[in-house]
Amino acid sequence: MAVLVGRKAPHFSETAVVNGKDIVDGFSLDQYLDDKYVILFFYPRDFTYVCPTEIHAFQERLNDFASRNCAIVGVSTDTPESHRAYLNMPKEEGGLNGVTYPLVADLNKTVSTNYDVLAGEYDYDEEGNLLAHGNLVAYRGLFLIDKEGIVRHQLVNFFPIGRSVDEAIRVLDAWIHNETHGEVCPANWEKGKEAMAETTSGVAAYLANH
């Protein structure tokens, strides 16, 4: 698994469904550069079980992310038509109706591969026939990307394990605090709690009081 933290987020330009209905070609994260933070998350498949709980959970906290100047973008290896059909399905039937942030269609699996969250792999047999080992869908990857397009946090879960939106917000708050105040955030830090100066004396003073 590649560690992308501290590196430029891999570029992509793919088809996405935006505003819950519109299929848009050439969608990329370049539109957010120098303007917004981005939480980019991958999920395995449309029309499944854990995935809609996560997708709706991000939608329910969309205003919290917006207040922090952060865009949410989802990605799976499904087609754009599948995304749109899923977005049109009522929530009470397991669908995504009501979700408004972009869902990228990584149909060629290049985005998932470049972010190194694609489960399974291609191979060839002795006769040169192409084989696929495992399901060629995305793990539950999540990446916090700053305004300069640099990955500052990444998390990858196996298929059955849903992610915490609260934790995504906490990490975003910690990065914003560091950018704004130059302080580092200790274990279990949350917005509004005391941080520490990035010096020996600053750390010592913090530990002495906790």
Encode pLDDT of 59-113 as tens digits.
999 999 999 999 999 999 999 999 999 999 999 999 999 999 999 999 999 999 9
Instruction: Say how many Å lie between the first and final Cα of the chain, rounded.
Output: 36
Instruction: Give the amino acid at 156.
Output: V
Statement to judge: residues 145 and 51 lie in one domain: yes
Statement to judge: residues 143 and 169 lie in one domain: no
In a domain, 9, yes or no: no
Statement to judge: residues 93 and 169 lie in one domain: no
8 has pLDDT over 90? yes
What is the rounded average pLDDT for all residues in the chain?
Answer: 93
CA–CA distance, 153 with 144 (Å, rounded to integer): 5
Instruction: Name the residue among 147, 145, 152 with its Cα closest to residue 34.
Output: 147
Instruction: Give the amino acid at 117.
Output: V
- Confidence (pLDDT) at 159: 95
In a domain, 1, yes or no: no
How many domains does the chain fold into? 2
In a domain, 89, yes or no: yes
Catalytic residues: 51
- Confidence (pLDDT) at 132: 82
In a domain, 2, yes or no: no
In a domain, 120, yes or no: yes
15 half-sphere exposure, CB direction, 13 A CA radius: 15
Statement to judge: residues 138 and 203 lie in one domain: no
Instruction: Name the residue among 138, 55, 44, 62 with its Cα closest to residue 97.
Output: 55
In a domain, 4, yes or no: no
Statement to judge: residues 102 and 39 lie in one domain: yes
For range 10-17, the mean pLDDT: 98
Q: Residue 206 — pLDDT band, cuts 50, 70, 90?
A: low
pTM of the model: 0.92
Residue range of the domain that includes 37 = 14-162
φ/ψ (deg, to 5) at 36: -135, 150
